[in-house]
C-alpha cells in the first residue's frame, strides 16, 4: 500500500460519518476515543491493534510485556479523554508455529495490568494463522466530570503542558509505561482542560492533531521541553523529544489563569508537570525564537 495512513483515515472517516443511523455519535473518528450518547452518561469507545515487527518484536520481548502494552495503549486513549476505563475485549491472531505458552503469557501480562487499573477483560476472539502475531484490544469507558476532554477546545493564549519527559521510548518505556489515568482524572476534576491528547506519534505530530481540531497554532519553548535520558545519562535531543512516538504522556491545554494555579498545585498525583508553550492565533508550530518546527513525527506504515 502506498497511501499514507493519514490519507487512508481521511477516506475511512468520510465513509464512517454516513453510518450514524441512531444518532448516538457525539465524537467519531479523529479523537483519542469515540464518544457515544447514552442515558446516564456518555460512553467512550476505542481500539488499538499491535503487530509483531511494528509495535513490538515477539522475538526477544517478554510476552507478558506485549500483553501489557496492548492494554496500556488503550488505557492511554481513555486517559486522553479524562475518562474511566470499564472493560476490554482482546483479540489475538496467533502464529501456528509458536509455543503454546506465548499467548497465555501475553494474556497474563495483560490481566495483571487490567487488575491494577480495575478494568474487566470481558471477551474477544482468537484465531490461529501462518502470519506474525497480532493483538487487538477494544476498550469501553465512561466520561467523567465535565464530560470527555476533546482535542478541539484549545484557545489562543492557553498554556500547553505535558505530563512527563519525552523521547527514546524505544529503549523500553514503550513496553512499560503507565497510562496517565489518575493524573488525567485529577486534572479534569480540578481544572478546565480545554484540550488533551496522549502522545503516541510524537509531540510534534500529536500537538498538530490538537491544532487541526482547535484551530490556531502553537509556540514552544525549547528549554521547557522535558527530555528523556540515554543509558549513559545524557539527554536525548529536542528532535527526538518532538518526533519519537509512544511516550504515552499526556499533552493538554488550560487557560493562563488556570495554568498559574496548576503550577503551584501540590495535590497533583503524578510526576512534575512541564509547561512547554502557548497556543497562538497564528497557525503553525514554532519555537519561541520564531524557528518553524518541521518535524512530522511517526507516520505508521511509511517508516
Ligand atoms: Mg491517542
57 CA to centre of ligand 1 in angstroms: 22
Per cent of the chain over pLDDT 70 is 98
78 CA to centre of ligand 1 in angstroms: 8
As a whole number, the mean pLDDT across the chain is 94
Per-residue pLDDT at 209: 95
Residues 164, 198: contact at Cβ < 8 Å?
Answer: no
Hey, how many other C-beta atoms are within 10 angstroms of the C-beta on 253? 28
52 CA to centre of ligand 1 in angstroms: 20
Cell, residue 215: 484551530
pLDDT tens, residue by residue, 3-30: 988 899 999 999 998 999 999 999 999 9
> Whose CA is closest to 121, among 100, 91, 96, 98?
91
Hey, how many other C-beta atoms are within 10 angstroms of the C-beta on 251? 24
Provide the pairing of β-strand 84-95 with 134-142: antiparallel
> Whose CA is closest to 252, among 178, 182, 199, 294?
199
Per-residue pLDDT at 254: 98
205 CA to centre of ligand 1 in angstroms: 11
| Residue 283 exposed, middle or buried by CB count within 10 Å (0-12, 13-18, 19+) | exposed
State mean pLDDT over 231-244. Answer: 95
30 CA to centre of ligand 1 in angstroms: 9
298 CA to centre of ligand 1 in angstroms: 13
Distance CA 222, CA 262 (A): 21
Residue 194 in this model has a pLDDT that exceeds 90: yes
97 CA to centre of ligand 1 in angstroms: 33
178 CA to centre of ligand 1 in angstroms: 14
Distance CA 257, CA 27 (A): 28
Cell, residue 24: 448516538
Per-residue pLDDT at 303: 32
172 CA to centre of ligand 1 in angstroms: 19
pLDDT tens, residue by residue, 148-165: 999 999 999 999 999 999
Residue 231 in this model has a pLDDT that exceeds 80: yes
Give the relative orientation of helices 63-80 and 101-116 as an angle to the nearest 10 degrees: 40
284 CA to centre of ligand 1 in angstroms: 21
Distance set, CA 121 to CA 1, 33, 170, 228 (Å): 33, 18, 27, 33
Distance set, CA 200 to CA 126, 241, 303 (Å): 26, 12, 15
Residue 302 in this model has a pLDDT that exceeds 50: no
79 CA to centre of ligand 1 in angstroms: 9
73 CA to centre of ligand 1 in angstroms: 8
Distance CA 175, CA 37 (A): 33
Least confident of 68-72, 184-188, 291-295: 291-295
198 CA to centre of ligand 1 in angstroms: 5
84 CA to centre of ligand 1 in angstroms: 15
Amino acid at each position: 500500500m502506498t497511501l499514507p495512513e493519514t490519507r487512508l483515515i481521511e477516506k475511512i472517516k468520510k465513509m464512517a460519518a454516513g453510518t450514524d443511523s441512531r444518532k448516538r455519535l457525539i465524537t467519531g473518528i479523529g479523537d483519542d476515543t469515540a464518544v457515544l450518547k447514552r442515558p446516564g452518561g456518555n460512553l467512550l469507545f476505542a481500539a488499538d491493534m499491535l503487530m509483531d515487527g511494528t509495535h513490538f518484536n515477539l522475538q526477544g520481548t517478554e510476552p507478558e510485556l506485549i500483553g501489557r502494552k496492548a492494554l496500556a495503549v488503550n488505557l492511554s486513549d481513555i486517559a486522553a479523554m479524562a475518562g474511566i476505563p470499564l472493560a476490554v475485549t482482546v483479540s489475538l491472531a496467533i502464529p501456528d508455529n509458536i509455543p503454546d505458552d506465548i499467548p497465555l503469557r501475553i494474556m497474563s501480562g495483560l490481566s495483571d495490568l487490567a487488575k491494577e487499573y480495575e478494568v474487566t477483560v470481558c471477551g474477544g476472539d482468537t484465531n490461529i494463522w501462518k502470519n506474525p502475531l497480532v493483538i487487538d484490544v477494544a476498550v469501553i469507558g465512561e466520561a467523567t466530570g465535565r464530560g470527555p476532554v476533546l482535542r478541539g477546545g484549545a484557545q489562543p493564549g492557553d498554556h500547553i503542558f505535558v505530563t512527563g519527559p519525552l523521547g527514546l521510548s524505544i529503549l523500553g518505556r514503550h513496553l512499560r509505561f503507565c497510562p496517565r489515568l489518575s493524573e488525567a482524572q485529577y486534572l479534569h476534576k480540578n481544572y478546565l482542560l480545554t484540550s488533551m491528547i496522549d502522545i503516541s506519534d510524537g509531540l510534534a505530530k500529536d500537538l498538530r492533531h490538537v491544532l487541526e481540531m482547535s484551530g490556531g497554532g502553537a509556540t514552544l519553548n525549547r528549554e521547557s521541553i522535558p527530555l528523556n535520558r540515554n543509558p549513559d545519562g545524557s539527554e536525548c535531543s529536542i528532535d527526538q523529544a518532538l518526533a519519537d512516538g509512544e511516550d504515552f504522556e499526556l499533552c493538554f491545554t488550560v487557560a493562563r489563569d488556570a495554568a498559574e494555579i496548576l503550577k503551584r498545585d501540590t495535590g497533583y498525583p503524578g510526576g512534575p508537570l512541564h509547561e512547554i508553550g502557548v497556543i497562538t492565533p497564528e497557525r503553525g508550530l514554532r519555537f519561541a525564537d520564531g524557528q518553524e518546527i518541521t518535524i512530522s513525527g511517526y507516520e505508521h506504515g511509511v517508516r
